[in-house]
Structure 1
Amino acid sequence: MSGVVRYREAVARAEAAKHSLMSSAQAARARITPARLKQDATTKVVEAAMDGMAYAAATARQRPAMTGAAGAAILLFLARRPLAALFRRLYVGHDDINPDHSETDDG
């Protein structure tokens, strides 16, 4: 082979490697755009939430009594202030059955 042929083959290989590098760089640039990163993060969050919901549903089907008790505990925790107010009113109403007697000594 002459030097000219080897030079042309080397130039062709260099051009192919340059084209490959440029296409890889463009693909990497496309992957790190903010819109793509947001889409990837959203997809991962949705998949994790769906997996969690599927796991919770399977656990609830396996242990319905535990699920009901946990649900009741959460419901009581969320409704603790209205329930406390209700019991305070009931207690005060029950305590003041006889309004003739005063709670103080001076009458």
Structure 2
Amino acid sequence: MSREQAYREATERAAHLRSKAVLSLADAQARIAPDRLKADVEAKITATALDGIAYVGAKVRQRPVATGAAATGIGLFLFRRPLTALFGRLFVRLRNRNTEISEIDDG
């Protein structure tokens, strides 16, 4: 192999490696672009949320009574004040219902 031919092969190899490096750099820049990172994060969050929903759905189907009891307990806890007020008003109405004493009684 002559020196000129070896030089040409070396320059061709260097040009090929340079073009490969430029393509790799372009790929890396595309991967770390803010829009791409944002899309990747959104896709990951969506996938995680959907997996979580599917997991919860499967657990609810496995244990419907326990899920209903837990939901009832949480609902009662969240609405404890309005329920207390409602039952307090009902209790007062029922306790003060006295049919023997009339409001128009003269006595």
| Shorter-chain TM band | 0.7 to 0.9
In structure 1, the residue matched to 2:56 is 56
TM-score for the superposition, normalised by structure 2 = 0.78
- Structure 2 unaligned regions, length at least 5: 97-107
Q: 2: distance between equivalents of 1:34 and 1:16? A: 30
Task: Write out per-residue CA displacement over residues 43-87 of structure 1, whole angstroms, 9 at most, x where no aligned residue.
Answer: 111111111111111111111111111111221222123223334
In structure 1, the residue matched to 2:4 is 4
In structure 1, the residue matched to 2:69 is 69
Instruction: Tell me the C-alpha RMSD between the 2 structures.
Output: 2.1
Q: How many residues align?
A: 97
Q: 1: distance between equivalents of 2:56 and 2:86? A: 33
Q: 1: distance between equivalents of 2:43 and 2:88? A: 48
The 5 A counterparts of 1:25-104 are 25-90=25-90, 93=92, 97=96
Task: Write out per-residue CA displacement over residues 1-60 of structure 1, whole angstroms, 9 at most, x where no aligned residue.
Answer: 111111110111111111111101111111111111111111111111111111111111
Q: 2: distance between equivalents of 1:34 and 1:82? A: 48
TM-score for the superposition, normalised by structure 1 = 0.78
Q: 2: distance between equivalents of 1:81 and 1:4? A: 93
